Amino acid sequence: MAKRDYYEVLGVPKNASKDDIKKAYRKLAIQNHPDKNPGDKKAEERFKEATEAYEVISDDQKRAAYDQFGFAGVEMGGQGGAQDFSNIYRDFEDIFGGFGDFSSIFDNLFGGGRSSAGSRRRGEPPSGSNLRYDLHLDFEQAVFGTTVEIAYSHDQSCTTCNGSGSEAGGGRKVCPSCQGSGQVRRSSGFFSIASPCPTCSGEGHIVDKPCKQCNGSGLNKKKQKLKVTIPAGIDNGKRLTVAGQGDAGPNGGRPGDLYVFVHVKPHEFFERDGYDLYCAVPISIIKAALGGEITVPTIDGKKVKVTVSPGSQHGKMLRLREEGVPGANGGSKRGDMYIKLMIHVPQKLSRKGKELLEEYMRIEGDDAAPKPIRLSELK
């Protein structure tokens, strides 16, 4: 398939400035990066095409040759060899510096010579893994907060070797797989992909005489009990972070964190929406028609008297201010509690009750042909 014009690939005019060219390439590279589009061959081809175009027209000398002779000028200048991406690496921080992890991903993909261990420097012990704990709470515990004790297993430093992974008198030696670089590389097309060495986990060194207790890892699996404070008002699905309580890092690396995911059990009567609580209370036809007081329970066990106005309809909502969920971060203000009135129609009537209702119907009349109501009016 014939190559597309480099300016067309990047979507810039022939008189585009270097800054415009960088912006156009950055946008295309982020959109079509292979790690963002796993298995998408078309995206990978677009990424390669954009990278090749940028490598040429971002360089003044190559751009001039391309503008004058087209692809032939580039091939003559490059002497027909593999594409040279040094220009991209030179401007790399300027192009992708504000895009966080994308920088390290790009480096690994092209073999740019930067550290493949993320924010960890080569030779620095890797951090421990983060752990997840799923905590199930009663509804009231989530509303008012509590302290719970959890038990879980995690990696801790080996007490025999104090986390070094070496026997007494042992030490560390250069990794034979990566020769101390901490990286191994493999080539795929014009890509050179660098990844942490699997033998030394990117450290560049391995334990010479492994500790028999931990097999050189410097870690042992142990059970731990931990008290976790649950703040009032926490909602279902929220996550708490307990710093430093995950797995210990090998060879003295910093520990990971423990993530506590909160699952709140449903309540028998109450439902929650943000910091507001909702419940439904049945009332008699007589109470709805004549009005009066009803007693309703709140989430904290109180019983509150609520006034029902005469002529209240089925589904009417009453509000009790600040009887809902406490505010986040220890806030004194609480949400509200909403009470939905559910008019209860008796299924069985005494003879006297039936006579009274029939008398009421004779006095007030029977609406035998009610006019339909728009559904929007019921909201």
244 Rama sector, left if φ>0, alpha if ψ -120 to 50, beta otherwise:
left
- Is there a single domain that holds both residue 135 and residue 256? yes
**Residue 325: pLDDT above 90?**
yes
* pLDDT at residue number 96: 52
What average pLDDT score do residues 182-198 get?
69
* pLDDT at residue number 44: 85
Distance between CA atoms of residues 318 and 302, nearest Å: 17
For residue 183, give the CATH number of its domain: 2.10.230.10
Residue 121 lies in a domain: no
* pLDDT at residue number 182: 79
- Is there a single domain that holds both residue 289 and residue 374? yes
CB neighbours of residue 116 within 10 Å: 23
- Report yes or no: 135 and 220 within 8 Å, Cβ to Cβ: no
- Is there a single domain that holds both residue 170 and residue 226? yes
Q: Is 134 helix (H, G, I), strand (E, B) or coil?
A: strand
* pLDDT at residue number 330: 57
* pLDDT at residue number 260: 95
Residue 126 lies in a domain: no
- Report yes or no: 275 and 253 within 8 Å, Cβ to Cβ: no
- Report yes or no: 173 and 143 within 8 Å, Cβ to Cβ: no
- Is there a single domain that holds both residue 162 and residue 201? yes
- Report yes or no: 153 and 223 within 8 Å, Cβ to Cβ: yes
- Report yes or no: 187 and 242 within 8 Å, Cβ to Cβ: no
**Residue 154: pLDDT above 70?**
yes
Residue 205 lies in a domain: yes
* pLDDT at residue number 116: 37
Enumerate long-range contacts of 76-82, CB under 8 Å, 24 or more apart.
Answer: 82/190
Residue 115 lies in a domain: no
**Residue 38: pLDDT above 80?**
no
- Is there a single domain that holds both residue 286 and residue 347? yes
The model's confidence at residue 272, banded by pLDDT at 50, 70 and 90, is very high
**Residue 171: pLDDT above 50?**
yes
* pLDDT at residue number 89: 44
Range of the domain at 186: 131-264
**Residue 270: pLDDT above 70?**
yes
Among candidate residues 81, 110, 139, the one where a domain is terminated: 110
- Is there a single domain that holds both residue 165 and residue 215? yes
- Report yes or no: 130 and 256 within 8 Å, Cβ to Cβ: yes
Residue 342 lies in a domain: yes
For residue 311, give the CATH number of its domain: 2.60.260.20
Percentage of the chain exceeding pLDDT 70: 80
- Is there a single domain that holds both residue 253 and residue 301? no
Which of 80-84, 197-201, 280-284, 317-321 has the weakest average pLDDT? Answer: 80-84
* pLDDT at residue number 105: 46
- Residue type present at position 236: N
State residue 253 phi and psi, 5-degree precision: -65, 160
DSSP state for residue 277 in the 8-state scheme: E
- Residue type present at position 222: K
pLDDT digits (tens, 9 = 90+) for 61-115: 889 888 887 887 776 544 433 344 444 444 544 555 444 444 444 444 444 433 3
Among candidate residues 78, 110, 142, the one where a domain is terminated: 110
What average pLDDT score do residues 162-175 get?
76
State residue 316 phi and psi, 5-degree precision: -65, 140
Distance between CA atoms of residues 28 and 34, nearest Å: 12
Which of 56-60, 139-143, 163-167, 305-309 has the weakest average pLDDT? Answer: 163-167
**Residue 326: pLDDT above 70?**
yes
- Is there a single domain that holds both residue 241 and residue 194? yes
- Chain centroid to CA 265: 22
The model's confidence at residue 329, banded by pLDDT at 50, 70 and 90, is low
Query: Per the structure, how many domains does the chain have?
Result: 3
The model's confidence at residue 378, banded by pLDDT at 50, 70 and 90, is low
- Is there a single domain that holds both residue 285 and residue 254? no
Please tell me the pTM assigned to this model: 0.58
